């Protein structure tokens, strides 16, 4: 299957700063990427769907101005958490794939102090 990488794997930042998470599809043309958020011992919650060359579609309740998504190429989508606060601390996962298989990145653990 396709390989999806995320960078960084872990990040600790101060409250009020912005953090960028990269999701790269190494051997698959990712026209669509999905961004999920996962709190401890909970399920993956879809935050937004990013489409190459166009604006992302956000799920209800997700602030698009706080979680900025850019999908400028078929291999890279980025999620920027702006003005991060402790409640944004979570595990963020991206995925891409076909209609019958999704390939997930290894995730990024964000801790906001």
Please report whether residue 28 would count as binding another protein according to CB under 8 A: no
Please report whether residue 44 would count as binding another protein according to CB under 8 A: yes
# residues contacting another protein (CB under 8 A): 22
Please report whether residue 106 would count as binding another protein according to CB under 8 A: yes
Q: What is the 3-state secondary structure (H, E, C) of 44-111?
A: EEEEEEEECCCCCEECCCCCCCCEEEEEEECCEEEEEECCCCHHHCEEEEEEEECCCCEEECCCEEEE
Please report whether residue 98 would count as binding another protein according to CB under 8 A: yes
- Find where tokens 């956000």 sit: 58
Q: Which of 68, 75, 89, 91 binds another protein (CB under 8 A)?
A: 91
Q: Which residues bind another protein (CB under 8 A)?
A: 1, 32, 34, 38, 41-44, 46, 49, 91, 93, 95, 97-102, 104, 106-107
């Amino acid at each position: 299957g396709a390989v999806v990488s995320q960078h960084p794997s872990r990040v600790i930042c101060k409250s009020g700063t912005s953090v960028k998470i990269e999701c790269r599809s190494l051997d698959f043309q990712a026209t669509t990427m999905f961004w999920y958020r996962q709190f401890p011992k909970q399920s993956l919650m879809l935050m937004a769907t990013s489409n190459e060359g166009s604006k992302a579609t956000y799920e209800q309740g997700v602030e698009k101005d706080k979680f900025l998504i850019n999908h400028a190429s078929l291999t890279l989508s980025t999620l920027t958490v702006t003005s991060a606060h402790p409640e944004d601390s979570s595990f963020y996962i991206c995925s891409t794939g076909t209609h019958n298989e999704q390939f997930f990145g290894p995730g990024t653990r964000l801790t906001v102090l």
